[in-house]
Amino acid sequence: MSDQYDVIVIGAGPAGYAAAIRCAQLGFSTACIDASVGRDGAPVLGGTCLNWGCIPSKALLDASHKFVEAKDHFGEIGLEVSGLAVDVAKMMVRKEQVVKGLTDGIASLFKGNGVTGLAGTGKLLAGRRVALQGHDGTVEELQAGSVILAAGSVPMEIPPAPLTPDRIVDSTGALEFQAVPERLGVIGAGVIGLELGSVWRRLGSEVVILEALPDFLPMADRRIARDALKVFKGQGLDIRLGAKVTGAEVADSGVRVAFEEDGAEQRLTVDKLIVAVGRRPNTAGLLAEDSGVALDERGFIAVDDYCATAVAGVHAVGDCVRGPMLAHKGTEEGVMVAERIAGFKPAVNYDAVPNVIYTHPEIAWVGQTEAVATDSGAPVKTGAFPFAASGRALAANDAVGVVKLVADAESDRLLGMHVFGPQASEIVAQGVIGMEFDASAEDLGLTMFAHPTLSEAVHEAALGVAGRAIHMVNRKAKPKA
């Protein structure tokens, strides 16, 4: 007789653990299966985000940013620092302490909410049965009323640069360096490549980022991308666009990288090479042939707008389904599915999913860019306000960047917000809230913001949409033909 649960969740990353906790809160007997193990070989919860992604990378980004501030910018505000040094080993210890605190926290939340955590690999069988293979190789069969697949994603690999134990690494390996590489190569100028490149550049590496695409951050607003590229190059990141890697091999001198740029074959030697070309859904071994659950042409689990698969009672959420691979998107999907299993009818607003790149300055956006909105045929109007005119940003010696709003020219409805600057990850939440409540640019312009704050830039950008900004000269309206 197999063990029975109302709900079985496969995967304990943000999408999976949120789904499991919410299911338990709603009164379902819930089990959550995860195969992850930590450095000590013991099972850990939290998935890639907490263990090898969002959290450890932000710990290193924060530490490295503080180092650069102290080394290069404290003198500008009258603070003299001497004897400053980088202790990578201590930095890594702190990173692991932060990770452990959060992963232990998920275990406590499971216990407090009555979720049964099961260590091992889960596979969906027919009839909402799940095969659980423990780390000791034993297999048992579980029966569920509903199954939620939250298997997450893994780093993509590319044939020209096969990974090695220490020299050619993926994003996980790049978080484990025990010393600052003298020269570092990064393949990919996306979110992961820019963040990891920034960490090690700040700590002293000479960093070369090779990006195959001809455009920088094509998913971002063009003004934001242009400004960010200029700033990042000024920080010492050697970003080469249109550079396609054709080979990489480990040699005594380091890693020899071959790439094509402007039609010519180029070569580069680095101490370490990070492959940061994106992630793919982690669906290998997840589905039995008779499970009935299908994958789409890109390997994602096929689901509808509410994360339901074609099999009754089986849902899939997070990185293993369509849409951006973002922890917060997966969390919202996990909660939505739990509530739909309980008979409620929530939905995720996929038009208001924020994106963030945790460089410095940060880049964040929600909704449509000006180009996307224009290409869709909608007449648009925009407003922008630079942090160089923000009293709070100037006082904090952190005044690089801009807030830009995109609104429908006829209805004034907010279509997107784009931020490049200090605390962009926090500021963009105001745009998310506005879009969730179908706000207009005028609504933001009529809202009172505290002074002095960075968020005043949102207020001024909103006023600027209508040519009413107070703290900058408004653009003159183009004469009508």
**Residue carrying the six token digits 């998310």:** 432
Q: Looking at the domain that runs over 352-465, which CATH code has it been given?
A: 3.30.390.30
- Name residues whose C-beta falls within 8 Å of residue 452's C-beta, 6 or more positions apart in sequence: 390, 391, 392, 395
Determine the Cα–Cα distance for residues 451 and 446; give it in Å rounded to an integer. Answer: 15
pLDDT at 378: 84
Amino acid at the residue 283: T
CA dihedral 159, 165, 167, 173 (to 10 degrees): 90
| Sheet containing 206-211, strands listed edge to edge, beginning at the edge strand earlier in sequence | 168-169, 272-275, 183-187, 206-211, 238-241
Residues with Cβ < 8 Å from 281, sequence gap 6 or more? 151, 152, 153, 298, 299, 300, 301, 319, 320, 321
Locus of tokens 């183009």? 478
User: Which pLDDT value is given to residue 1?
Assistant: 40
List strands edge to edge, sheet with 264-270. 243-251, 254-261, 264-270
> How much is the CA Rg of the chain, to the nearest whole Å?
24
* Extended beta strands in 53-136, E state: 116-119, 121-124, 129-133
For residues 251 and 378, is the Cβ–Cβ distance under 8 A?
no
Per the residue annotation, which of 315, 451, 459, 471 is the catalytic one?
A: 451
Exposure on the CB side of residue 18, measured as CA atoms within 13 A: 20
| 459 included as an active-site residue | no
Q: What are the two backbone dihedrals, phi and then psi, of residue 402, each rounded to the nearest 5 degrees?
A: -160, 155
Instruction: Report the top-level CATH class of 3-155+280-348.
Output: alpha beta
3-state secondary structure 163-230: CCCCCEECHHHHCCCCCCCCEEEEECCCHHHHHHHHHHHHCCCEEEEEECCCCCCCCCCHHHHHHHHH
Q: pLDDT at position 481, please?
A: 45
Q: Tens digit of pLDDT per residue, the chain (481 long)?
A: 468 999 999 999 999 999 999 999 999 999 999 999 998 999 999 999 999 999 999 999 999 999 999 999 999 999 999 999 999 999 999 999 999 999 999 999 999 999 999 999 999 999 999 999 999 999 999 999 999 999 999 999 999 999 999 999 999 999 999 999 999 999 999 999 999 999 999 999 999 999 999 999 999 999 999 999 999 999 999 999 999 999 999 999 899 999 999 999 999 999 999 999 999 999 999 999 999 999 999 999 999 999 999 999 999 999 999 999 999 999 999 999 999 999 999 999 999 999 999 999 999 999 999 999 999 998 999 999 999 999 999 999 999 999 999 999 999 999 999 999 999 999 999 999 999 999 999 999 999 999 999 999 999 999 999 999 999 999 875 544 4
Place of tokens 């909402």: 128
> Where are the domains positioned within the chain?
3-155+280-348, 168-277, 352-465
CA atoms within 13 A on the CB side of 301: 33
Between β-strands 129-133 and 121-124, what pairing exists: parallel, antiparallel or unpaired? antiparallel
The CATH architecture annotation of domain 168-277 reads 3-Layer(bba) Sandwich (3.50)
C-alpha 53/C-alpha 98 separation (Å) is 12
Which residues, 6 or more positions from 30, have their beta carbon under 8 angstroms from its beta carbon? 5, 6, 7, 8, 9, 20, 23, 24, 114, 115, 116
Of the candidates 390, 461, 462, 465, the one whose C-alpha atom is nearest the C-alpha of residue 422 is 390
Q: Do domains 3-155+280-348 and 168-277 have the same CATH topology?
A: yes
